[in-house]
Structure 1
Amino acid sequence: MPPRLAAGWARTLGRQVLVLAAALVVGLMVDRAWAALALAALGIVAWQQLRLRRLLLRLQSRRHLPPARGAGAWNELDRLLHQYQDETRNRKRRLVEMLRAYRAAAAALPDAVVVLDRNSQRVQWFNEAASHLLGLQYPADLDAPVGERLQPLPIAHWLASGRYAEPLLDAPSPMDADVRLSLRLIPYSDSLWLMVARDVSKLMRLEQVRRDFVANVSHELRTPLTVIHGYLDMLEPDEQPDWAPILAEMRTQSQRMTQLVEDLLTLSRLEAQEAVSDENVPMASLLATLRREAEALGKGRHEIRVEDRAGVDLWGSIKELHSAFSNLVSNAVRYTPAGGRIDITLARSDDGGAVLSVRDSGYGIPASHLPRLTERFYRVSTSRSRELGGTGLGLAIVKHVLQLHQARLEVESEVGRGSMFACHFPPDRVHSPRDPFIDGAPREQARNPADRAR
């Protein structure tokens, strides 16, 4: 108990004892001792009830009542309560001001911000930009299912992914299909999610201009490169021995330029695609092909191991997947010194999908470079890349191929201990090779009602 409250309580108790003693003396003088004592006790109880009632009224009142004056436990308790109420009111005032400031900041954002209930996926709050970009209306759309309100945006499956949902980088606005949105889901508490939508129309147009430019320039470079190759093939080093090193370097660089042009065209084509035609991809034969390619590229300098632990096939584009896997294998061979080991493994994942991994015992990659490996032309070591060849576009091609197959690339590496590149495919991309299908047939043809019934 605080000292001031203890002292006040002692004074109050002393006064009550004095009142009872005086009542007892008066009662003895008039021969009514017990009656006088009882009346005094009733008076004390009544007074205590009045003070208690005043205290309860202060607790219930919304008005800012002044504290009682004077000494005593009740007055001290009244002052403490008044002080606590002042502190509480000040704290609430600061919290309300902070809340208003945060809501004003969220309302002023150019991005649409929508607060969702995690379990029901219903709208709890949204800012003004959400009305312009997503078409949400206040107050009609409060507590409404966000999936129904944002039709025709295909976000039901996306929301079901929860905290593992990848950002939707290019989605049409429900208000205007020409407005392109980037959607991101942020779980910021156990019960609430934050959905942020940003207008990326200008970025998408600039990106399309860039893609068209790269594709057109790459296509136009094919003709002059073909002419250069033709003239270089006509020149014989034996006729001009002094020119032999120059011609060899010219052939090497022209071939590298040709490969760069082909990779740029491949990347432009992949970026323009929205989906792939699903065929059966026989993984057993594809793994055998990857082994042959690795052995041919390594020329017997590496130990190549291929293991099929899954025994499954994939749905997808044979050409695109072979291109992606081949890029990973060729990188492993180029960046692994002679005598190193390369493991190519196909296994099942815990979620029922499949993982194709390429592990090497090469130089390894510093952790600071890992997030940027799939960027175009990004190189960890420029000098080593020039020495070993390559265009710097291989992993960018791998990333886009996997995205078209709803797959993802995972990279693990340690300097001096090698690297591991793993392609994770979802369960709906995996099927048993014993399932009935026609080789090369699209998924829709292979999965007819009769097949599903069996």
Structure 2
Amino acid sequence: MPPTLQTSWQRTLATLAAVLGCAMLAGLAVGQPWPALALAALGMLAAHLLRLRRIMGQLDARVRLPPPHSGGGVWAGVERLLHRARNEVRGRERRLVEMMRAYRAVAAALPDAVVVADRNTQRVIWCNVAAERLLGLSYPRDKGASLGERLQPLPVSHWLSSGRHAEPINDAASPADPSIRISLRLIPYSDALWLLVARDVGKLMRLEKMRRDFVANVSHELRTPLTVVHGYLDMLDPSDNPEWEPIVGEMRRQSQRMTQLVEDLLTLSRLEAQDTLVEEEVAMAPMLSTLRREAEAIGQGRHTVAVEDAAGVDLRGSSRELHSAFSNLVANAVRYTPSGGHIRVRFAPDAGGGVALSVEDTGYGIPEAHLARLTERFYRVSSSRTRETGGTGLGLAIVKHVLQLHQARLEIASEVGRGSIFTCRFGAERVMARTEDIHEEPHD
């Protein structure tokens, strides 16, 4: 078992005392004790300095330290400690290198393109093999290259400048091959580095297009048989056979619900296929008046309806699509609010020069766990309540797509038992001055 550092010090001090004692005795024998003692001390100091110089030379040269001497003494103890520390450091370095190689091998094997970039200069630090196929980047050829220049014609410079607030680019042509459709996601995982992840979404986009075409075709084909069913139901007179009245009434309600479902599916398919809008000025004063009338007609006097126009501006966009979105929100508020409840529609200024249209109700409310999924197709918080109110489960999906086409967003706040607030927020670029208002201004 190697001696401890304390034992080494004790042995060194004992050796020092022994040497100095012998030097003193020898000096006394010749009648010169102090010179003999000084020479012995200088000799020992020189030996220690030489030992120290040798150890420092080994450390400075960064070479593997030789195995320490098995003897005692403080320098032997220091050499043992240095040798052990150096071995531990080398072991950690080997493990870190192995981990880095393993992580790099994993990143290189990913089918998605992974690019590590400097956050300040927006230059490439490293990229994996898939980056060459999807982005045209190759390591080490493009190390230090500007991402904005290498990923042309993608407009990524402004996108990269957004940092943590950069929204994913879900569908874009690859700069390496325009026939490849990719999605881009920016992950700022440290103060100095970005992780850019690109994925081939061509197959996904083709499947999505097939789904949209299928839904649109089926919905269109259902129109004809539904029209025939409606025609025959209208020919039936329940007064001829009173016992048929509840049956015929239920058939009419269900056929109307099916027709509404088909219309909503067609609307959603059309919105999903759109990339742009026909821009026009949307007069909000008559729009709000229309929403009030629709809410009162659906509620049939069971609710109080308030409409407030605090913005005094109009919007730029599609009047048809915006009315569809706002009308869905108002209809949902009325359907899911018990009799005696209150519906409030407010059009008001928003932060950054934008505007917001909010629909507030005092209805049942929605549990927080469901809020994130409300805009999914056919997602329902309560299927039984949906059947009672006649909803199709597509209204909020339509609202989401309409707002996306207008570069707007939908925010939902709700509390069970107290009601919900659905807010459509539009940026300043969608706001237009209300130059002429010949319609009646909604007010309360």
Q: Find the aligned partners of 2:206 and 2:403 in 1 and give their Cα distance.
A: 24
1:126 offset after TM fit, Å? 0.7
Q: Aligned residue for 2:298?
A: 297
Q: Find the aligned partners of 1:313 and 1:39 in 2 and give their Cα distance.
A: 102
Q: Find the aligned partners of 1:62 and 1:358 in 2 and give their Cα distance.
A: 74
Amino acid at match of 2:295: A
SS of structure 2 residue aligned to 1:423: strand
CA distances 1:111-152 after superposition (whole Å, capped 9, x unpaired): 111112222221111100011111112323212121211112
Distance 1:287 1:161, change over 3 A: farther
Distance 1:127 1:25, change over 3 A: same
Q: Find the aligned partners of 1:148 and 1:365 in 2 and give their Cα distance.
A: 47
SS of structure 1 residue aligned to 2:377: coil
1:154 offset after TM fit, Å? 2.6
1:292 offset after TM fit, Å? 2.4
Q: Does 1:384 align with 2:388?
A: no
SS of structure 1 residue aligned to 2:328: helix
Tell me if structure 2 keeps the 8 A contact 1:169–1:183. Answer: yes
Q: Aligned residue for 1:116?
A: 117
Q: Find the aligned partners of 2:420 and 2:220 in 1 and give their Cα distance.
A: 34
- Worse-superposed segment, 383-392 or 220-229: 220-229
Q: Find the aligned partners of 1:204 and 1:345 in 2 and give their Cα distance.
A: 37
Q: Find the aligned partners of 1:51 and 1:186 in 2 and give their Cα distance.
A: 53
Tell me if structure 2 keeps the 8 A contact 1:112–1:198. Answer: yes
Q: Find the aligned partners of 1:285 and 1:53 in 2 and give their Cα distance.
A: 92
Q: Aligned residue for 1:6?
A: 6
1:176 offset after TM fit, Å? 2.1
Q: Aligned residue for 1:313?
A: 314
- Worse-superposed segment, 320-329 or 345-354: 345-354
1:205 offset after TM fit, Å? 0.8
Tell me if structure 2 keeps the 8 A contact 1:133–1:173. Answer: yes
1:431 offset after TM fit, Å? 4.1
Percent sequence identity over aligned pairs = 67
Amino acid at match of 1:13: L
Q: Find the aligned partners of 1:310 and 1:10 in 2 and give their Cα distance.
A: 88
1:226 offset after TM fit, Å? 2.2
**5 Å matches for 1:44-443?**
44-60=44-60, 61-433=62-434
Q: Find the aligned partners of 2:158 and 2:293 in 1 and give their Cα distance.
A: 40
Q: Aligned residue for 1:24?
A: 24
Q: Aligned residue for 1:451?
A: none
Q: Find the aligned partners of 2:71 and 2:257 in 1 and give their Cα distance.
A: 96
Q: Find the aligned partners of 2:300 and 2:19 in 1 and give their Cα distance.
A: 111
1:429 offset after TM fit, Å? 2.3
- Worse-superposed segment, 400-409 or 175-184: 175-184
CA distances 1:368-404 after superposition (whole Å, capped 9, x unpaired): 2222211111111111101100211101101111111
Amino acid at match of 1:398: V
Distance 1:348 1:160, change over 3 A: farther
Q: Find the aligned partners of 2:431 and 2:326 in 1 and give their Cα distance.
A: 16
Amino acid at match of 1:141: D
SS of structure 1 residue aligned to 2:429: helix
Tell me if structure 1 keeps the 8 A contact 2:129–2:138. Answer: no
Q: Aligned residue for 1:447?
A: none
- Worse-superposed segment, 157-166 or 198-207: 157-166
Tell me if structure 1 keeps the 8 A contact 2:119–2:194. Answer: yes
1:64 offset after TM fit, Å? 4.2
Q: What do you get for the CA RMSD once the two structures are aligned?
A: 2.1
CA distances 1:76-101 after superposition (whole Å, capped 9, x unpaired): 11101111111111111111111111
Amino acid at match of 2:118: D
SS of structure 1 residue aligned to 2:340: coil
Tell me if structure 1 keeps the 8 A contact 2:410–2:423. Answer: yes
SS of structure 1 residue aligned to 2:276: coil
Tell me if structure 2 keeps the 8 A contact 1:58–1:65. Answer: no
The count of corresponding residues between Structure 1 and Structure 2 is: 434
- Worse-superposed segment, 373-382 or 18-27: 18-27
1:71 offset after TM fit, Å? 0.9
Gaps in structure 1 of 5+ consecutive residues:
438-454
1:225 offset after TM fit, Å? 2.1
CA distances 1:33-57 after superposition (whole Å, capped 9, x unpaired): 3332332222122112112112213
Gaps in structure 2 of 5+ consecutive residues:
438-444
- Worse-superposed segment, 137-146 or 299-308: 299-308
